[in-house]
Amino acid sequence: MSDVELIGSDDATLRRAAELALASAGLRGHVAIAFVDAERMAQLNREHRGRDAPTDVLSFPVDEDRPIGAAPRELGDVVICREYTEDVPEAVIHGVLHLVGMDHERDEGEMLALQHELRSWL
């Protein structure tokens, strides 16, 4: 069973978006999703990615070294800036897919295709 913690929101659609992304990877565990303002997002982006600007979503994995399938896991945190996000459920999916190990900057379109498909299910 996965535990999706929405900090500052109780939106069932956002919870379902995270659960779909986790299920697509066959993982169970805890994910925290927090919402921050543009200033805080810029600070996080600068500190963790060296980019001095706000962005829509950042992911911070925790249990990366634990074998896939080992459950339950502390998967990590997803941070979203609503001011820079056109589609919040899609940002949730995007962030969680990063937590489960997907990377659209290194794959051949699989992550974004899955993201689009999962978004259509909501």
Rounded CA-CA distance 86/79 in Å is 15
pTM of the model: 0.90
Q: List the 29-35 sheet strands across, edge first.
A: 3-7, 29-35, 73-80, 57-61
One pLDDT digit (tens) per residue for the chain, 122 residues: 568 888 988 899 999 999 999 999 888 888 999 999 999 999 999 999 999 999 999 999 987 665 555 556 789 999 999 999 999 999 999 999 999 999 998 989 999 999 999 999 99
Rounded CA-CA distance 56/58 in Å is 7
Structural domains of the chain ordered from first start: 3-120 (3.40.390.30)
